[in-house]
Chains A and B, each alone.
Chain A
Amino acid sequence: MAETRLKILVVDDEPAIRRFLRTALDTYGYSISEAARGEEALNAVAMGHPDAVILDLGLPDLDGVEVTRRLREWTQIPIIIISVRDQENEKVNALDAGADDYLTKPFGIGELMARIRVALRRSTWPEKQPVFVLKDLVMDMARRLVSVSGQPVALTPTEYDILRIMVANSGKVLTHHQLAHLVWGNAEENQAHLLRVHIGNLRGKIESDPSRPYYIITEPGVGYRFREGNY
């Protein structure tokens, strides 16, 4: 663990939630700054240079999507948005606008830590290892080899691409839009359906029980997430 404490900016208009987050993050060794409104948050990021931002979608002045968009105009700082159930559209919009991940209220602190960790890892991880291992799955990107429980698996080029992108972003959610964009370069509306088919096939090949997937997790209404693994 690094010696300097990482700084997290918590943006939420509910004092109770800010309090809970401060306590929790403090316990885990992060230092906290707070903001209650969108404009405040933008200033706080510019002035305070935090390492990550936890951003509530339902702010009184600017909505979370707007804040994300403005931040992304000049910084790649990790942004994790907090939303309520049934706010799927806004979630997806925020993610497409550049947010890294999301949490649905009420959430447990374990989830939160995992998300922060993943988000920070991307920005602080020094280099990528070419071999990815998670449970029974081994993916060697240098040699373009995928095997499950030691058995090699034959994937179509598209399936390999999808798997590669997901693994590169393991632990982090990828919206349909983002995934399609990363795989095919553009994201048209009906690509989501195509994606589903590919994912289904992929699952069939790498999951031990495709109907209860372990590696490729469906984030309902948002997209997919590859389980956090080890490089």
Chain B
Amino acid sequence: MEHQRPDPDKLLARVQAEEAQQGLGKLKIFLGYAAGVGKTYAMLEAAHQRKREGIDIVIGYIETHKRLETEALVKELEIIPRQQVLYHNVQIPEMDMDAILARGPQLVLVDELAHSNAPGVRHPKRYQDVVELLDSGIDVYTTLNIQHLESLNDIVARITGTLVRETIPDSVLDRVSDIEVIDLPPEELLKRLKEGKVYIPDQAERAIDKFFRKGNLTALREMMMRRAAERVDDQMRAYMRTESIPGPWAAGERLLVCISPGTLSERLVRTARRLADELNAKWYAVYVETPDEVKLSQEKRDRIADMLQLAEELGARSVSLPGRSVSEVALSYARRHNVTKIIVGKPLRPHWQELLRGSVVDELIHASGGIDMYMVTSEAEPVNPRMPEGWRPHQPWPRYLWGIILAAAATGLSLLVFPFISPTNIAIIYLLSVVLSAFYFGRGPAILTSVLGVIAFDFLFIPPHFTMAVSDSEYLLTFAGLLAVGLVISHLTSLVREQADAAQGREAQTVALYELGKDLTVTTKLTDIARTVIAQISQTFGRDVAIFLPEDHGPLKIYAACPELTIADNELAVADWSFQRGQVAGRGTDTLPDASMRYQPLRTTRGVVGVLGVRPMDAGHHLTHDQRRTLDTFANQVAMAIERARLAEQAHQAEILEITDKLQSALLNSISHDLRTPLVSITGALSSLLDEGALKLDDVSRRSLVETAYEESDRLNRLVGNLLDMTRLEAGAVRIHKDICDVQDVVGSALEQLNSRLENHPVTIDASPELPNISMDFILISRVLVNVIDNAIKYSPPGAPIEIRAQATNGYLEIAVADRGAGIPKEDLSKIFDKFYRVQRPDNVTGTGLGLAISKGIVQAHGGFMAAENRSDGGAIIMLALPTR
């Protein structure tokens, strides 16, 4: 049991709750115990007060029931118009969530928290809408009657005789920051009812008398008061705890309730919740799946799943455990989790059944040790004593036939050996047959075999022979033993088999998870991950799958899906909702359950990375509790894999950036060197001339220096021009002014620009005048030719001729410049057009290596291309081709 000090878990929870509260909206409930006590009116009055304080208030939904005083208060506040939802050809007004969220007020009034929304709206229940509003940071005032609380549902039903259908889970109350109790003595309420001041919907007229009885009202009022008081108590205790005030600590209780397929379970769960509330205890709901229960009907399975879910909604932790004995498994779980009290239902079955089959409750009581047991009764009719499951003849008939055959075989064998051995050993043969029957054919046939065996044994082998009488009562023991063994063994073997089946079922899921995990760890590419996930999930769950991922921090888009799957736009909206909120949505959930798929957010510690959409192939099929759990785990793994893929991508990008950086600095170094080199000569030459000692230079030397400086400055000019061109090309700032040009003219212009450098190289031009005039940018193309011809000059020995040829072929005008240099090494042929590429040569050739790259860029911008090849008789040809349009 716990000690008298603040529980660190609780402290942390409180701190976290407080932190969570900041930024979230605050909820205030105006609580009453019946219609007509004045909750709506009180809420409106409070709203007016806040409005006077300057708070921005809107009305989300108000039910005035045409009462004049209420309507007067409504008039002065801003109302968000309701949206009309069409359902079965009827227009139903519902609260417009989108409008409210868009309006973004500080406070919104929402009447009737327990209302159920019309289908087609965001959430099936209004309290879920309110939760969403609170999550968005908007404060909410709302009204509620006490009988709408889930945990009180059954008590209210008992008191008033009417079952309230619109309930809200108690967990919503945990978000309440303030409760205002609207109290009215029952006598006054009845007076108001008589005066016609209380709104009753027409259909309820009949129920009024039953409901509005003084006894009922009083009971309800007391319940309301008590609940409100509990809350105050809670707050006080929480305060005491955080302030470390020593007090009568509620012992750190923990409760456990066992869920069975019986009808009592619901009551147990609600009782457990109330008890847990009172004791401020954590509680667990446990379902033990025994081999028996494997054979349960679908209806019972569903009920169990519902119970487990209900328990979770009410704040428990639900688990489903396999095992042979309910009591053993439950108790071991209880001990592991330090459970202090177990809640069970009073046994309903007749006593004899319990004796025969054992009672879970008895076992629990006896084995509970230091754990308290709470027994809860039920007023429901006692369960009809039915035959236990195992007795129902649901096994196929052939097995029974085999049972008979075995008995017959045993008899036959015994007859054969009867002369040689005593009857007791005959019994062993029958025993063997029973064992075989139990092992292979199951319980029913085994029992049949043993009964037949006993009869045969008695009839044929026990004196007096051929009668059913027994002379020696000792043989009765044999009969009993035979029967008993038969039963036990068949029981055991069927138990084992069924457990094996159950274990296999679980194993299948575990294996599926393992496979998924294994497949995912080896994939780092997003596309592979998506493919693996879709394949695995369709296989394991038999469902269509789709994966949604946000596009580069943008909106959610479908990333991958099963081929037959088409996603409508409104489905995408649901997926988006799930992504934004990080909660499940769609089929089988509380949010937008009309969607055709179930959307599971893929969560990691860094947030939601995407959404997994799952759709059953067969429309009616909902996921079982276990399957849901497995899907959750799958989703986690998928989320992690996706995150991993994203991180890998980021790392890759970072790597690329680093490499690019390195390359850039290498290039900058190279350019810097190339620009500075001519300057060295220029500076050197000019400074020599400036130097006093220059006067001693003779004319020839002086001239030589000056010539050098002039040539180098020319070279520098060209380098700068090239860099400028390259920069413009890269920036896309090159504008091409196309005009019909004469090829001869262009070539001539290029040659003119290179005049001085062509001194040592005879140039031959082969361009017929019949060449078509094509559309090109004169200046740019002449620059290209300058670069190409300059290249030819650079790599040609002095005196070597340069040939320029122009011809029109295949829709292109080709201009080729051929030199008689050393040619281009084969591996460099494609690379020479790369930026800064220079063929490595023993004689260091000057230039930044940009000329050809620039040329290629310009030619490509014209829609043409460039190529290089070696001449068979020595030298290289560089060719540019421009489209003739």
Contacts and interface: CB of A to CB of B under 8 A. Distances in A.
Given A193-B739, A211-B767, A218 B748 contact: yes
Interface residues of B, number: 23
Given A85-B721, A211-B765, A221-B779, A196 B741 contact: yes
9 contacts: A86-B724, A192-B739, A193-B739, A196-B741, A209-B765, A211-B744, A211-B748, A211-B765, A221-B779
Interface of B: 713, 717, 721, 724, 739-742, 744-745, 747-749, 751-752, 763, 765, 767, 769, 773, 778-779, 782
Given A193-B740, A220-B782, 7 more contacts: A88-B779, A200-B742, A200-B745, A211-B765, A218-B748, A218-B749, A220-B749
A1 to B, nearest CB: 26
Contacts of A192: 739
A135 interface: no
A212 B749 contact: no
A169 to B, nearest CB: 19
A3 to B, nearest CB: 31
Given A210-B744, A217-B752, A218-B749, A106 B717 contact: yes
A48 interface: no
Contacts, number: 50
A138 B858 CA distance: 41
B744 A200 contact: yes
Q: Considering the complex of A and B, which 5 residue pairs feature the smallest CB-CB distances, nearest first?
A: A211-B765, A221-B779, A220-B779, A211-B744, A218-B749
A88 B737 CA distance: 11
B745 A218 contact: yes
Interface in A157-203: 192-193, 196-197, 199-200, 203
B650 to A, nearest CB: 41
B284 to A, nearest CB: 81
A203 B765 CA distance: 15
Contacts of B739: 192-193
Contacts of A204: 769
Interface of A: 85-86, 88, 106, 192-193, 196-197, 199-200, 203-204, 209-213, 217-218, 220-221
Contacts of A106: 713, 717
Contacts of A88: 779
Contacts of A217: 752
A86 B728 CA distance: 11
Contact of B748 (A193, A197, A212): A212
Nearest to A190: B740
A212 B742 CA distance: 13
Nearest to A108: B710
A196 B740 CA distance: 9
A212 B751 CA distance: 7
Nearest to A222: B779
A200 to B, nearest CB: 5
Contacts of B748: 210-213, 218
Contacts of B721: 85
A220 B713 contact: no
A86 B722 CA distance: 12
Given A193-B740, A196-B741, A196-B742, A220 B717 contact: no
A220 B744 contact: no
Contacts of B740: 193, 196
A156 B109 CA distance: 95
Nearest to A200: B742
Q: Which of B713, B745, B752 has the most CB of A within 10 A?
A: B745
A210 B747 CA distance: 11
A209 B748 CA distance: 10
Contacts of A220: 749, 778-779, 782
A92 B773 CA distance: 23
Given A106-B713, A212-B765, A196 B745 contact: yes
Contacts of A212: 748, 751-752, 763, 765
A220 B769 CA distance: 20
A42 B778 CA distance: 35
Contacts of B742: 196-197, 200
Nearest to B764: A211
A199 B751 CA distance: 18
Nearest to A203: B744
A60 to B, nearest CB: 22
A74 B689 CA distance: 46
A199 B495 CA distance: 108
B357 to A, nearest CB: 100
Nearest to B741: A196
Nearest to B744: A211
A197 B763 CA distance: 25
A88 to B, nearest CB: 7
A217 B769 CA distance: 18
A121 B739 CA distance: 34
A192 B745 CA distance: 14
A230 B389 CA distance: 127
Contacts of A199: 745
B134 to A, nearest CB: 64
Contacts of B769: 200, 204, 210
Nearest to A218: B749
Contacts of A218: 745, 748-749, 752
Contacts of B752: 212, 217-218
A194 to B, nearest CB: 10
B769 to A, nearest CB: 7
A211 B749 contact: no
A204 B717 CA distance: 34
A217 B750 CA distance: 12
A86 B713 CA distance: 19
A85 B721 CA distance: 8
A7 B717 CA distance: 31
B782 A211 contact: no
B138 to A, nearest CB: 60
B778 A221 contact: yes
Contacts of B745: 196, 199-200, 218
A184 B748 CA distance: 27
A200 B745 CA distance: 8
Contacts of A193: 739-740
Contacts of B778: 220-221
A108 B751 CA distance: 19
Contacts of B741: 196
B750 to A, nearest CB: 9
A211 B747 contact: yes
Contacts of A200: 742, 744-745, 769
A195 to B, nearest CB: 11
Contacts of A196: 740-742, 745, 773
Nearest to B804: A211
Q: Which of A199, A203, A213, A218 has the most CB of B within 10 A?
A: A218
A225 to B, nearest CB: 11
Nearest to B755: A212
A85 B718 CA distance: 11
A197 B717 CA distance: 33
A193 B782 CA distance: 17
A211 B743 CA distance: 9
Contacts of B749: 218, 220
A91 to B, nearest CB: 11
A96 to B, nearest CB: 16
B802 to A, nearest CB: 13
A199 B741 CA distance: 12
Contacts of B747: 211
Nearest to B716: A106
B679 to A, nearest CB: 14
Nearest to A85: B721
A40 to B, nearest CB: 29
Nearest to B747: A211
A192 B739 CA distance: 9
Nearest to A220: B779
A192 B740 CA distance: 9
A209 B764 CA distance: 11
Nearest to B713: A106
Nearest to A201: B769
Contacts of A211: 744, 747-748, 751, 765, 767
